[in-house]
Amino acid sequence: MATPTLTKTASSRSWKVGVGEFFGNCRGVTSCPTLSSLVQYPARKGRARRLGLGSNHPVPAPVGVRTRVPGTGGHQGILPPLHEVLNALGSLISKGQLQTHLAASLTRSASGFEIAVVTAVVLGLLVAWYRSLDRFLNPLLEVFRNTAALALLPVFTLLLGIGEISKISIVAYAAFFPVLLNTIAGVRTMDPLLIRAARSLGLSNFRLFQKVILPSAVPTIFTGIRMAGTSSILVLIAAEMVGAKAGLGYLIVNSQMSFLIPDMYAGILTVSLLGLLVNYLLVAVERHFSRWRTAVGSQSL
């Protein structure tokens, strides 16, 4: 399957170097997957399909890369055909390993995500409403917002250890800012007339938040929540790659280090599917809460 040099590389060095070696090795080789070949241009489709048919792997676009290296055999281990990946996925599921890793990742990202959404929405409403709080917190928030979450991973690990708490915290941190900023924007752009109308009905501040400001900001807040959903998974996977004993990030990096390349791709595939699923669910929830919005191009006034 794999060439000895690559095995050595993968087992003796970090995974990043391994990937670098891989791309380095195939420099100058015409059949090597280059960045441009990862994108299937329409004009190339025909050729790719022909090659795909010829190489006995009728596979869709992402693994279409494989069709660019038919017959060479040298990279078989690094770019396994889809059926091998699916086989690996199947065996991971049947052994219950995938479920364990998925459960670990989901628990972490869901906890972090929930903490982030609740705190960011509350803080966002307060910051948008109380100008003095905004002036006080804004510089601080800007500094933190512009600090990449992963750059703080070592700090979180130092402060909170390598256990669950540090991972949940970094997910919460990464998911916090998109929700916060969109909540603030949602409140700031609301129609002041609606606040006057609600005030004229004698609503207290709390009721005003609950019944007018929050519902009117919901569509904007959801934009932030969707962004947060994506980044919470992204950051978690990266965090799990660095220091964890379970989780999809761990599965991916551990498979790579053990040179179980199909398992690695099975992990990556699961991450993609998880991302898509999360986004789909959030869009569905968003649609439910934003039914009242006039759709663009709708017939009504």
Partner 1 sequence: MTAPGYPAPKISLRHIGKEFTVRPTKENPQGSRLTALQDISLEVAAGEFLTLVGPSGSGKTTLLDILAGLTKPDNGQVLVDGKEVTGPGRDRAVVFQQYALFPWRTAAANVSFGLEGATGLDGRKLSRSQRAEKAREYLQLVGLAGFEERFPHELSGGMKQRVAIARSLAYEPDILLMDEPFAALDAQTREQLQDELLRIWRSTGKTIIFITHGIDEAVYLGQRVAVLSSRPGRLKQLVDIDLGDRDGDVDLRSGAAFVEHRHRVWSLLHEEVLRAQEAGHAKIQPDGSAPDETWDATPQTTHGKAA
The residues of the shown chain that bind partner 1, judged by CB under 8 A, are 191-194, 196-197, 199-202, 207, 211-212, 215-216, 218, 291-294, 300-301
Q: What tokens were used for 296? A: 């663009």
Least gap, CB of 215 to partner 1 (angstroms): 5
Least gap, CB of 128 to partner 1 (angstroms): 16
Least gap, CB of 292 to partner 1 (angstroms): 4
- Decide whether 11 or 210 has the Cβ nearer to partner 1: 210
**Which residue reads 């055909």 in tokens?**
81
Distance of CA 48 to the CA centre of its chain: 29
**Which residue reads 């792997």 in tokens?**
57
Contacts of 168 (CB under 8 A, 6+ apart): 108, 111, 112, 115
Is there a contact between 251 and 263 (Cβ–Cβ < 8 Å)? yes
- Decide whether 31 or 216 has the Cβ nearer to partner 1: 216
Distance CA 271, CA 252 (A): 10
Question: Phi and psi at residue 75, in whole multiples of 5°?
Answer: -105, 15
- Decide whether 135 or 199 has the Cβ nearer to partner 1: 199
Read off the amino acid at residue 152: L
Q: What tokens were used for 4? A: 């000895």
Least gap, CB of 114 to partner 1 (angstroms): 24
Least gap, CB of 121 to partner 1 (angstroms): 16
